[in-house]
Amino acid sequence: MLSTEVTKRLKIKYPIIQAPMAGGITTSQLVAAVSNSGGLGMIGAGYLTPAQLREQIREVKELTLNHFGVNVFVPGEFTISQNGIDFANEKLQSIKNHLNIADDSFQLPDARKLMETFHEHMEIVIEEKVPVCSFTFGIPSKEVISRLKEHQMILIGTATTVREALENQENGMDMVVVQGSEAGGHRGNFSNSHQESLIGLMSLIPQAVDCVRIPVIAAGGIMDGRGVMAAICLGAKAVQMGTAFLTCQESGAHRLHKEAILQSDEDQVILTRAFSGKWARGINNQFISTMHENEASFPAFPVQNTLTQSIRKTAAAQNNPDYMSLWSGQSPRLAKSLTAEELIQDIMLQVKNIIFD
Amino acid sequence: MLSTEVTKRLKIKYPIIQAPMAGGITTSQLVAAVSNSGGLGMIGAGYLTPAQLREQIREVKELTLNHFGVNVFVPGEFTISQNGIDFANEKLQSIKNHLNIADDSFQLPDARKLMETFHEHMEIVIEEKVPVCSFTFGIPSKEVISRLKEHQMILIGTATTVREALENQENGMDMVVVQGSEAGGHRGNFSNSHQESLIGLMSLIPQAVDCVRIPVIAAGGIMDGRGVMAAICLGAKAVQMGTAFLTCQESGAHRLHKEAILQSDEDQVILTRAFSGKWARGINNQFISTMHENEASFPAFPVQNTLTQSIRKTAAAQNNPDYMSLWSGQSPRLAKSLTAEELIQDIMLQVKNIIFD
């Protein structure tokens, strides 16, 4: 029942990819543990500087001889409006006061600089001979894609609809992750609007599989062998799991973030755009509920993300989960506190049991 | 791999239940064809009068000797505010003008009368010895449940979260349908708010299965053998399929409703509460997009449903899909125009192929 189309190409034993989670979650220990256990570890490079990315790639190489990958955000266009910033800052001020944030200096994002960093990231993955590169929030330019392909890199795109999956295929991606509405963290939609791209995996996988030729990798709410087998029955060739690895012991997620997931129910995980200006799924808390009525009016990503940075950082430092971004998919009841190796072994044991049931 | 827990109890060959779709879709021909083909046909009695329900039950009995079921809406509380009605009527007026609706008389729903009808429905299913009864929009009172159980009726509840599934179990339901966010038509949530109860099946099935003892039936976006097998891998004992049967030849859905589904993509299927006052999933059209900005302010179900009745009826009579409620789940690309028997045979062939792959 298990196809080897993706595992052979990625040179991994099991059809399990650890989702790239930016912001310090995908430590070198986590990435290497996943790759050493038969899956594909992924570095979430979204918020890393070029120097940090190079350092982490080298660190991972020290820890594993197996294949691993790097994920980058494709920079999009955004406008900066002083009115929008003032509006958001006014709404955020009472929280900043509550957390005693005195120094609230921040640097507004610079589109040109973000694009420069993106290109530097691309040069680093080439120089460091990283075998797999995946993309979120868009598709890179044809020039970038052909340059990476010249170096035999395997390219994986992200899609939330069949249309986006087709766009990834047409632009030369070797595989595509379809992100179901169940997924935690940021929505990866780049061409459809938010509501229209919230497709559950039960619908998204088979419709994507019927329309694209490249292998489909399923992401969203998958936590165990049952989810892996379900995704494969629907036509996916592999799965990408975020939340399941976030609560693993090697993950760099804040202790309170892990605990919040381990203690949450599925109906406490909701969508918000108040943290970053992009819709994302996480555990409901004081920040989300306070900001709910204004969230539609906040500036777009990455502007809003910059404006809430001091709140997220201070809350984390103060061990206050009320104002942290507690990203999670819709299956928190299935989360466990294991090592990445134990998790992968558990999953594959369950897969075997289902196949031979 | 296929458990017989649900099929044995329901006395059906295959773990496939045809979702009860109110409003004339579940014709006696469709219900009987499903039951004659090894599945469980269900009469959607939501908007039927007691006399109509009794007549349809007798008609189905003429057409099949196999088990079938009846689904009823559990009447909920609602308030009628003249301000709310005036607001909605004002917003709907231009559409009524556009459709040349002259006689716009309507009878506001009466909570006491709806409860009376519900009790009459219950007496009819008892008198007619209907073997299976399922419930949407809530859980009936303990008295109703024990009375139905005295008559050996098999009771199936509907849930959109683990909490609601547990409530169904605690109240004596024999099985529970978990409705994923993928599902078409009305959301069945009755205790959680809309956003919190939009859980994709990839997440909802395993979390529900882990928490309840009664068998879980999966509904939402399932259209073929791949979906059936995925649901079963996740722990469901059977599936309930709506949209897949809606486009079948025996279904009473409007020709243009069937065509709209057969021609739609997954990202054209969105949520609206403008038709009925309850959130429901259907194909985006002129009515939904025009009403979008005001939908949150419309009166609750069933008041808004009454106010839009003339629009929906007239649009259907004029063959104008722009103002009809084109309910659909998130997998319209997988819809086919088959007989119910052909559909069920196709599904079971695919199931076999997946198991023996």
**pLDDT tens-place string over residues B22-49:** 989 999 999 999 999 999 999 999 999 9
CB contact under 8 A, A267 and B235: no
Q: Domains in chain B: how many in total?
A: 1
Instruction: Write out chain A's pLDDT in tens, 357 residues.
Output: 788 999 999 999 999 999 999 989 999 999 999 999 999 999 999 999 999 999 999 999 999 999 999 999 999 989 999 999 999 999 999 999 999 998 778 889 999 999 999 999 999 999 999 999 999 999 999 999 999 999 999 999 999 999 999 999 999 999 999 999 999 999 999 998 888 999 999 999 999 999 999 999 999 999 999 999 999 999 999 999 999 999 999 999 999 999 999 999 999 999 999 999 999 999 999 999 999 999 999 999 999 999 999 999 999 999 999 999 999 999 999 999 999 999 999 999 999 999 987
Q: Which domain holds residue B270?
A: 5-355
**Per-residue pLDDT, B103:** 74
Residue with structure tokens 């709209």? B260
**Per-residue pLDDT, A43:** 98
CB contact under 8 A, B203 and A357: no
CB contact under 8 A, B207 and A331: yes
**Per-residue pLDDT, B304:** 97
CB contact under 8 A, A202 and B182: yes
> Which of A169, A226, A188, A232 has the alpha carbon at shortest distance from A206?
A232
**Per-residue pLDDT, B194:** 87
CA nearest to B231 within chain A: A230
* ipTM of this predicted structure: 0.97
Quote the minimal CA–CA distance from B231 to chain A in Å: 7
Residues of B in contact with A229 (CB under 8 A): 230, 233
CB contact under 8 A, B233 and A230: yes
CB contact under 8 A, A234 and B226: yes
**3-state secondary structure (DSSP) of residue A160:** coil
- Between B162, B196, B233, which is nearest A226 by CB? B233
Split at pLDDT 50, 70, 90, the class of B227 is very high
CB contact under 8 A, A163 and B230: no
Judging by DSSP bridges, how do beta strands A280-283 and A185-186 pair with one another? antiparallel
Split at pLDDT 50, 70, 90, the class of B1 is confident
Report the CATH number at residue B345: 3.20.20.70
Split at pLDDT 50, 70, 90, the class of B156 is very high
pLDDT cut 90: percent of chain B above it:
95
**Per-residue pLDDT, B71:** 97
B184 pLDDT higher than 80: yes
Residues of B in contact with A224 (CB under 8 A): 206
Chain B interface, best mutation among A229, A267, A331, by max B CB count within 10 A? A267
Strand order in the sheet with A269-272: A185-186, A280-283, A269-272
User: Is the torsion defined by CA of A311, A317, A319, A324 positive or negative?
Assistant: positive
**Per-residue pLDDT, A103:** 74
Torsions phi, psi of A231, nearest 5? -60, -40
Q: Which letter does DSSP use for residue A213 in this model?
A: S
